Amino acid sequence: MMTAPEVERPGDRVTELFRTWARDSALGLSSLSPAMAAAATSVSPQLARAAQATENVWRQIGQEFGLLTSTEAAEHMGYGSNRTWASAQRKAGRLLGVRRGGAYRYPGFQLDAALVPSISELVGIARQHDWSDESVVLWLCSPSGWMPGGGRPVDSLHQEPRSVIDAARSAMAPRW
């Protein structure tokens, strides 16, 4: 006996989206609750929201560019599984490294056939003005009024590195 093919009903998709949202929300709450309970002081809703918004940006950066481990960065650049290569480049100011999950991660946008040359200049400017690597990466991946058309500096990093450097100087060393 033949049966009719299954036809997805619009309500099925909505139900599945709701279930996914509910599952993700429950997982998020179960992860956040112990951390908030461990805090010595209360956490304002605004601070909790800001922390979540920042985490969402990091996840977006990871999805778009990759946040590579030191081994992955070295392999990407052709240095095999040399874990010390990325650390040495970060310490020398040639590579941006951000702390995520207790270890350094390296945003993939700075790794090409060679290290993106403008990164070392960006790191120098940032260190001169006490900007952390995390702040530089967040700035690079956010729309900026210092960039033509208000675009993200990261989108001009390869084709127009001078405009990114000039924007970084302006953004990191504001004049009063």
Domain annotation covers residue 122: yes
Distance CA 125, CA 16 (A): 48
pLDDT band at 1 (very low <50, low <70, confident <90, very high): low
Do the beta carbons of residue 105 and residue 97 sit within 8 Å?
A: yes
In a domain, 97, yes or no: yes
Instruction: Please indicate, yes or no, if residue 155 is contained in any of the structural domains.
Output: yes
User: Within a domain: residue 40?
Assistant: no
For residue 136, give the nearest of 163, 105, 168 by alpha carbon: 168
- Residue 148 counted as domain residue: yes
pLDDT tens-digit series, residues 113-166: 888 999 999 999 999 999 999 999 999 999 999 998 999 999 999 999 999 999
Number of structural domains (the chain) is 1
Is residue 105's pLDDT more than 90? yes
Note whether residue 51 is domain-resident.
no
CB atoms under 10 Å from CB of 29, counted, come to: 10
Classify residue 89: in a domain, yes or no: yes
**Structural domain span for residue 96:** 67-172
